[in-house]
Structure 1
Amino acid sequence: MSFWKNIQQEIAIIRERDPAIHSNMEVFLYPSFKVMLSYRRAHKLYVKGHYFWARWVSQRAARKTGIEIHPGAQIGKGLFIDHGTGVIIGETTIIGDNCTLYQGVTLGGTGKEHGKRHPTIGNNVMISAGAKVLGSFKIGDNSKIGAGSVVLEEVPPNSTVVGVPGRVVKRNNERLPQEDLDQTHLPDPICEDIECLKRENDMLGCRVHELEYQLAKLQKAETETK
């Protein structure tokens, strides 16, 4: 893709997903815009084996934007990084198309192992503020990672993850629309479990009261017959 087409694509992505942008000129001040242009240049250098210059470009972008993307990461089209401060994307990370990351997201490894050590992110995935995805596994297409979650294992497609460690809540295999960027109204499996326990406890309480009532009737009948 040509340089100008890259710019046009980045402008369109940011304007589509951030209602705070009111003109194309504002996009040029946006950290996501700056870092993605630098990443594309650094990645080309990295692929050609110019590792020092690739890191030089990426580290300059990190200092200017607060977003650190290793030039070895593989990123598809349509990545949007909202605000972006504190976002880290590791060397062997693979990100699909039309994904959204918020501030403080880490796509990292779990140690000093070699080879593929960072996550693979599917298409149309949203990762909310402060979430950490650590390790070499896949986040399935159309999934959402809740704010502050720590994900340490594979996530099936069309899922929502919340909590520490991250817990998966299936979403009936429905495709999550890309415009659905709500970070707060997510299912909470712990609350759901507590509600289920409360319902079961209420049912058991009603059953105990019923048995006590039946026992009292039997005892009364026995007393009257004597």
Structure 2
Amino acid sequence: MINEIFTRWETNRKSGFLCNAILTTYSIGKSVSESKLRYFSIIISIIHKFLCMLAGCSLPYKAEIAPSVLFPHGLYGVFISKGAQVKNGCIIFHQVTIGSSSLNSAKSPLICENVLIGAGAKIIGQIKVANGERIRAGHSIFHSIE
């Protein structure tokens, strides 16, 4: 967990304090929610939700976000659904939605390695975005990109 936090800090060091605080509480909360430290888990969850509210973002613990994902403009307006997977080396700009097509988190996107997602892009549904793809700003994606 400590290595994951330091990797996130190093990757997003220019993204601002709020972004790093959210990513830190995400890493700690994800680890603690699976353990038996119930009261500590509740405290971290409250802090995480408050910080997300300040940034207008959603980053649930059930989302799989690799430690080396870069948020160059912070997490302002970023929504990632609870079943989504974002692999190493991805760059996600502000106002991006990576969401499921239903209330069932099993239908969430898989973003492979080294994908660039431009500002305001929407990736919706059970789709896969292949390694190294570029999604331009403002685009909506509803089908897999191989």
CA distance in 1 between counterparts of 2:110 and 2:47 reads: 24
SS in 1 for 2:83: coil
Letter in 2 for 1:39: Y
**Aligned residue pair count:** 141
Percent identity reads: 21
Which amino acid letter does the alignment assign opposite residue 67 of structure 1? C
Secondary structure of 2:98 counterpart: strand
CA contact (8 A) 2:5 2:27 kept: no
What TM-score, normalized by structure 2, do the two folds share? Answer: 0.83
Tell me the amino acid that sits aligned with residue 34 of structure 2.
Answer: V
CA distance in 2, matches of 1:48, 1:92: 20
Task: Note if 1:67 corresponds to 2:57.
Answer: yes
Give distance in 1, aligned partners of 2:56 and 2:70.
Answer: 15
**Can you give the 5+ residue segments of structure 1 that lack an aligned partner in the other structure?**
16-20, 22-26, 157-226
More helix by share: 1
TM-score scaled by structure 1? 0.56
- Indicate whether 1:56 and 2:43 are aligned: no
Q: Distance in 2 between matches of 1:33 and 1:131?
A: 22
Question: Which of 107, 110, 113 is 1:120 aligned to?
Answer: 110
Structure with higher Rg: it is 1
SS in 2 for 1:81: coil
Q: In structure 1, give the amino acid aligned to 2:25.
A: S
- Alignment RMSD: 2.3
Q: How does 1:93-132 map to 2 (within 5 A)?
A: 93-112=84-103, 114-132=104-122
Q: Distance in 2 between matches of 1:46 and 1:153?
A: 33
Offset at residue 13 of structure 1 (A): 1.3
What are the equivalent positions in structure 2 for 1:120-159 lying under 5 Å apart?
120-156=110-146
Superposed CA offset, 1:50-102 (max 9, x none): 6x837534312202333210111011120111222110011000110011111
**What corresponds to 1:8 in structure 2?**
6
Contact (CA 8 Å) 1:11, 1:33: kept in 2 or not? yes
- CA shift in 2, pair 1:10/1:90, >3 Å: same
Q: 1:98 to 1:70 in 2, by over 3 A?
A: same
Q: Which runs of 4+ in 1 moved over 6 A?
A: none
Counterpart code for 2:106: K
Matched, 1:41 2:31: no
In the alignment, is the contact (CA less than 8 A) between 1:107 and 1:119 conserved in 2?
yes
Query: What is the match of residue 161 of structure 1?
Result: none
- Structure 2 vs 1, CA of residues 130 and 8 (structure 1 numbering), >3 Å: closer, same or farther? same
The alpha-carbon distance between structure 1 residues 14 and 135, as it changes in their structure 2 partners (threshold 3 A), is same
Cα–Cα, structure 1 residues 48 and 138, in superposed 2: closer, same or farther, change >3 Å? farther
Tell me: CA distance 1:48–1:7, structure 2 relative to 1, closer, same or farther (3 Å).
closer
Amino acid at match of 1:91: K
Q: Which residue of 2 aligns with 1:82?
A: 72
